[in-house]
Amino acid sequence: FLSSRSQQESAVHTAGFLQGLKAFGYIDGQTVRIDSRWANGDYERLPAFARELVALQPALIATGGGMPPVRAAKAATSSIPIVFVGGNPVAEGVVTSLARPSENITGFSIMSDELGGKRLWIGTGTDIHDRKLTEAQLASAERMLRALAIASAQIFWSADGSGQLDSYRRLTSLS
């Protein structure tokens, strides 16, 4: 795990992540090993941390704290899968599109420009036809995200603001 933040800043998310892993039998130090590097806001440390993680030959590198850790991991490896959450990877040039990210990078963005306007419109609109169309587009985007997550053949999880796991799923096939 590679993060631009501190371990303390990320405690809530880390707890949710570990809870999700545990639900599927992955317990850090017992059935899986999680090596973490925390930059504590010092972005210049990220490239060296990414190289350290790549040298450990992990199954994947998960990132947190925006796109800087993703860029550092991308520069360090072209073969180990990199999984990101959040940020705007298209606008920041990390991937070419959300539908088909690129290379060894996958993940999802909850704040993308492509969906931001649609969220605002749903909140303020009254035309039911356009609302249904927007909901269908959002459902389509969710299906694409699930396909990306399934393609990574890993675990998908999310936690609420208090760190409680609100969704997890072990992804093991392309079906």
pTM: 0.62
The tens digit of pLDDT for each residue in 58-114 reads: 988 989 888 999 999 999 999 998 888 777 888 888 888 777 766 788 877 765 555
Q: What average pLDDT does the structure give for the chain?
A: 77
Distance of CA 106 to the CA centre of its chain: 7
The tens digit of pLDDT for each residue in 7-60 reads: 999 888 888 888 888 888 888 899 888 999 999 999 999 999 999 999 999 988
Average pLDDT over every residue of 143-169: 63
**Residues whose CB falls within 8 Å of the CB of residue 123, separated by 6 or more in sequence, listed in order:** none
DSSP code string of 48-113:
HHHHHHHHT--S-EEEESSHHHHHHHHHH-SSS-EEEESS-TTTTTS-S-SSS-BTTEEEE-SS-H
CA distances from 130 to 27, 34, 42, 116, 141 (A): 46, 45, 45, 16, 16
**Residues whose CB falls within 8 Å of the CB of residue 161, separated by 6 or more in sequence, listed in order:** 12
Q: What is the pLDDT of residue 165?
A: 67
Average pLDDT over every residue of 144-167: 63
CA distance 154 to 12: 21
